């Protein structure tokens, strides 16, 4: 302690009369707090170096354990150390025990309070003063505790030594050995407690050594329980900060090595240690990529017994980021009073429902201490990385007013949820399906903000996939390739065409805002505030972002939004569906697209989702094909995002599904055209439309009210019938070559080999006419067309072909 620092036990010492005596290091290692729900013990020793209740530099936390392990090795000698096994105590000392095992280079096991189906307990014992007492031992290999080498027992503190005695008696009765070593950060036993431990060693005929960083004693007044009760009753709750917009949330499914234990619940060997050390730089890079570059103070927050893996991740992240930017702590089951005072160890408290289905535990409340900044802005973290295992990645983690993720998003500027697989010993059925890939986020993938959309796609940016339009069309039509196996060369608009885009955007922005608001308000009425948006990449993605922005702007909602791939003839990405099902209720997911044509994608979606639990109803801004129930309008009007390709869609390509590139456990692929950033108008499109939200809100609410009771809302598929009629009239034998609506016609002109355009007489189609002129395509004026226009792809195309027969143009006689 320096002269300028306040001991974090001063508040309790002065008011409750509790004092620490002994080593000069004690005030550096522990502070004091009051337990809020334990009638057996009033006070809590709060370690400053354990990384449980007080955020600390990961190098310090791991370092104190390593140093204790080295002291144990020196005590034992190399021969005995080579036969030693380390046992840590749940939940507080699981990380400390593992760090001691690292310093000793010994196998490790920790007790647990989480029963694991299929793993019979090898033993158990009680922690008498704790709020949660039962400890289980669940080694995958029972022989881990049957050797004759020293057993090293590690806890954060020795207050009475009773837990250690219970453990030694239990294990010695099963598998006797002649040497035990007890390790702790601080030894605060009384003389009577020390005699009891010595007497037990003599009774069992064993050697029992003790290693601690510091020693001393706790002096308690006779009425300490009464004093603590009064202090708790008098303590004013910390004023809650007014809720603001929740911080962005990113998710990372860590690329954890297959079969590597996430900790010592079932045992951790020297080989496991080597594998983890090798993987840490890669895992830290995953976390670093999910963090904003502006984050200067980062907290890596572990989860109850899951202390060691988050600690090592925090250390690797600190090495990668450099400087003094990373701190580490974990959540806990221990209920403690929070007092926002520099002289008290627990300044702030977040209380939240347990999210790991703790059926063995009567208390379902958990806590995160000193994570919120309280009254001191300098204590605020710019980002929090919450590390949990897949058992704890449940809806309770994110749903409800008190859910941990929701509370974290109110006390920091960015939250990253990092999930790793909970280890299942060999021979037990897997708890989860094969590991799912992680989403992609901007700006690394796409020019959209990371909070606006998570792309359930595989990044193929480095793969050459583009082919000339004519080559692609010939290959697709002769059956040599599927259209999703390659990409068209990205169209780069002329200055004249770019000006047409901006004119169209200015003219239609209000109408798009109204349509987006109508869809958002309708979804909110019918699906509730917990809805999840899944836009169909890529045309649906800007629409999904607009709907998400509306829900945030008008209702303060932070709606999850994903972009998923659907491919005509191949269906929706099954891995993306598995991802959505793993992280959300299927009934909350709404699929979103920009517009409908003849309804091919609506049919594809319905077929792909049959029997999955997902709702196949597609929400669109414009439904001229009359094949959707939720829409902003059924008029065929220009949505300017249809005028361009990637430069209005976050610089992301159309999606790709190609053998050899996309495996069975991969998302569909796409490319990020970062080199086109100079022409990117993605943000301009969104911002221009969103500027009209306030003005159109009353109309959108009224339109949603009308739509909710509209008698003609059910799809009648009139667009499909119109396409079949056009296909027959023009001698085209595949409806897939007839693309109705202004959006689909634009796509034909940009990506395919167009044959001609049918335009409703008098329709405002300046951009279509310009593109048609640039491609040398006839625009035919038609009366009575149910769409503004229809694009016809060159039928039976081959280079040199000119018509439906592949040889001559069929001219429709007037």
The structure tokens 């009308």 sit at 706
Two tokens, residue 615: 């709702």
The structure tokens 């057993």 sit at 151
Q: How far apart are the first and last CA of the chain?
A: 95
> How would you class 83 by CB atoms within 10 Å of its CB: exposed for 0-12, middle for 13-18, buried for 19 or more?
middle
Two tokens, residue 90: 């749940």
Q: Cα Rg for the chain, rounded, in angstroms?
A: 32
**427-437 b/e (C-beta count within 10 Å ≥ 16 → b):** eeeeeeeebbb
Sign of CA dihedral 588, 589, 593, 594: positive
Tell me, what's the pLDDT at 371? Answer: 97
Q: Is the pTM of this model over 0.75?
A: no
- Alpha carbon separation from 20 to 108, 161, 183 (Å, rounded): 32, 18, 20
Tell me, what's the pLDDT at 336? Answer: 93
C-beta of residue 474 within 8 angstroms of C-beta of residue 798: yes
Residue 342, number of CB atoms within 10 A of its CB:
13
Two tokens, residue 222: 């006779």
3-class state of residue 692 by DSSP: coil
- Alpha carbon separation from 542 to 131, 548, 621, 703 (Å, rounded): 51, 10, 11, 21
The structure tokens 């005929």 sit at 205
Task: Dump the DSSP string for 374-388.
Answer: TT-GGG--SEEEEEE
Contacts of 248 (CB under 8 A, 6+ apart): 409, 414, 415, 449, 450, 451
Q: How many helices (H) and strands (E) does the chain have?
A: 21, 32
Residue 76, number of CB atoms within 10 A of its CB:
21
C-beta of residue 573 within 8 angstroms of C-beta of residue 668: yes
d(CA 708, CA 524): 11
**128-152 b/e (C-beta count within 10 Å ≥ 16 → b):** eebbbebbbbbbbeeebbeeebbbb
The structure tokens 């932070």 sit at 558
Q: Which of 391, 338, 399, 381 is nearest to 360 (CA)?
A: 391
Tell me, what's the pLDDT at 482? Answer: 61
466: phi then psi, degrees, rounded to nearest 5 = -75, 145
- Alpha carbon separation from 505 to 429, 772, 791 (Å, rounded): 55, 20, 22
Tell me, what's the pLDDT at 637? Answer: 75
Strands (E) across 104-239 are located at 108-110, 123-126, 134-137, 151-158, 179-187, 207-219
d(CA 395, CA 355): 8
d(CA 130, CA 37): 10
Strand partners, 151: 85, 180
Two tokens, residue 408: 């974290």
Low-confidence ranges of the chain (pLDDT < 70): 1-4, 38-39, 123-134, 236-242, 357-363, 427-434, 467-483, 491, 796-814
Two tokens, residue 475: 């290959």
Two tokens, residue 482: 């599927």
Task: Dump the DSSP string for 720-772.
Answer: HHHHHHHHHHTT-S-GGGEEESHHHHHHHHHHS-EEEEEEETT---HHHHHHH
Contacts of 382 (CB under 8 A, 6+ apart): 292, 294, 295, 296, 297, 298, 412, 413, 414
Kindly report, residue by residue over 108-159, the tens digit of the pLDDT: 999 988 878 778 777 665 555 444 446 788 888 888 888 889 999 999 998 8
């Amino acid at each position: 302690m320096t002269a300028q620092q306040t001991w974090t036990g001063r508040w309790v010492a002065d008011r409750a009369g509790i004092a620490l005596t002994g080593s000069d290091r004690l005030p550096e290692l522990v502070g004091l707090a009051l337990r809020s729900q334990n009638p057996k013990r009033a006070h809590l020793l709060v370690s400053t170096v354990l990384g449980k209740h007080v955020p600390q530099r990961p190098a310090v936390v791991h370092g104190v354990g390593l140093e204790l392990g080295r002291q144990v090795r020196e005590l034992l000698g190399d021969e005995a150390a080579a036969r030693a096994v380390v046992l840590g105590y749940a939940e507080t000392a699981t990380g400390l025990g593992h760090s001691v095992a690292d310093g000793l280079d010994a196998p490790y096991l920790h007790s647990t309070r989480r029963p694991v189906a299929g793993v019979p307990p090898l033993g158990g014992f009680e922690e008498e003063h704790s709020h949660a007492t039962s400890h289980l031992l669940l080694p995958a290999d029972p022989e881990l505790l049957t050797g004759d080498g020293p057993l090293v027992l590690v806890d954060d503190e020795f207050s009475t030594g009773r837990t250690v005695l219970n453990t030694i008696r239990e294990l010695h009765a099963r598998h006797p050995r002649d040497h035990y070593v007890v390790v702790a950060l601080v030894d605060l036993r009384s003389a009577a407690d020390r005699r009891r431990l010595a007497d037990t060693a003599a009774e069992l005929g064993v050697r029992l050594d003790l290693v601690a960083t510091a020693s001393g004693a706790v002096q308690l007044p006779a009425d300490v329980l009464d004093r603590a009760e009064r202090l708790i009753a008098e303590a004013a709750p910390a004023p809650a900060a007014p809720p603001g917009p929740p911080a962005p949330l990113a998710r990372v499914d860590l690329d954890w090595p297959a079969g590597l234990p996430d900790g010592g619940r079932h045992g951790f060997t020297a080989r496991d240690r080597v594998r983890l050390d090798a993987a840490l730089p890669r895992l830290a890079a995953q976390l670093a990529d999910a963090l904003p570059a502006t984050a200067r103070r980062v907290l890596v927050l572990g989860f109850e017994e899951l202390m060691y893996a988050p600690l090592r991740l925090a250390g690797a992240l600190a090495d990668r980021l450099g400087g003094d930017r990373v701190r580490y702590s974990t959540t806990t089951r221990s209920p403690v009073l929070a007092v926002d005072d520099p002289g008290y160890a627990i300044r702030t408290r977040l209380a939240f429902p347990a999210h790991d289905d703790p059926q063995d535990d009567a208390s379902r409340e958990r806590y995160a201490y000193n994570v919120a900044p309280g009254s001191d802005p300098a204590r605020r973290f710019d980002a929090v990385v919450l590390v949990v295992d897949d058992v704890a990645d449940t809806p309770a983690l994110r749903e409800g007013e008190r859910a941990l993720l929701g509370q974290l998003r109110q006390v920091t500027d960015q939250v990253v949820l990092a999930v790793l697989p909970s280890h299942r010993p060999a021979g037990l059925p897997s708890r989860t399906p094969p590991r799912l890939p992680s989403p992609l986020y901007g700006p690394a993938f796409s020019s959209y903000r990371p909070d606006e959309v998570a792309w359930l796609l595989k990044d193929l940016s480095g793969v050459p996939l583009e082919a000339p339009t004519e080559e692609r069309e010939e290959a697709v039509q002769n059956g040599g390739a599927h259209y999703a196996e390659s990409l068209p060369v990205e169209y780069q608009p002329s200055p004249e065409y770019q000006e047409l885009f901006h004119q169209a955007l200015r003219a239609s922005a209000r109408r798009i805002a109204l349509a987006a608001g109508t869809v958002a308000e309708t979804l909110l009425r019918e699906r509730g505030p917990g809805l999840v948006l899944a836009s169909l990449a890529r045309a649906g993605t800007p629409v999904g972002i607009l709907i998400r922005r509306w829900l945030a702007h008008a209702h303060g909602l932070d709606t999850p939004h994903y972009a998923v791939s659907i491919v005509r003839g191949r269906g929706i990405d099954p891995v993306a569906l598995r991802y959505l099902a793993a992280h959300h209720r299927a009934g909350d997911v709404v699929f979103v697209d920009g517009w409908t044509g003849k309804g091919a994608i609506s049919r594809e979606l319905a077929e792909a989702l049959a029997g999955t639990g997902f709702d196949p109803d597609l929400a669109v801004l414009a439904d001229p094909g009359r094949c959707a129930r939720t829409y902003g309008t059924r008029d065929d009007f220009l949505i300017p995002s249809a005028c361009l390709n990637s430069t209005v869609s976050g610089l992301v390509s159309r999606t790709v599904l190609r053998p050899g590139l996309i495996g069975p456990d991969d998302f569909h692929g796409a490319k990020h055209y970062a080199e086109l950033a100079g022409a990117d108008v993605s943000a301009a499109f969104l911002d221009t439309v969103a500027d009209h939200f306030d003005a159109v809100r009353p109309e959108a609410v009224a339109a949603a009210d009308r739509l909710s009771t509209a008698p003609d809302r059910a799809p009648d598929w009139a667009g499909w019938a119109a396409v079949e009629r056009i296909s027959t009239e023009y001698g085209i034998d595949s409806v897939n070559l007839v693309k109705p609506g202004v959006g689909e016609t634009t796509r034909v002109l940009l990506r395919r080999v167009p044959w001609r355009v049918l335009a409703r007489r008098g329709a405002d189609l300046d951009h279509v006419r310009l593109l048609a002129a640039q491609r040398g395509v006839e625009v035919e004026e038609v009366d009575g067309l149910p769409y503004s226009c229809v694009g016809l792809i060159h039928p039976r195309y081959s280079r040199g072909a000119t018509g439906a027969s592949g040889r001559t143009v069929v001219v429709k006689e007037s």
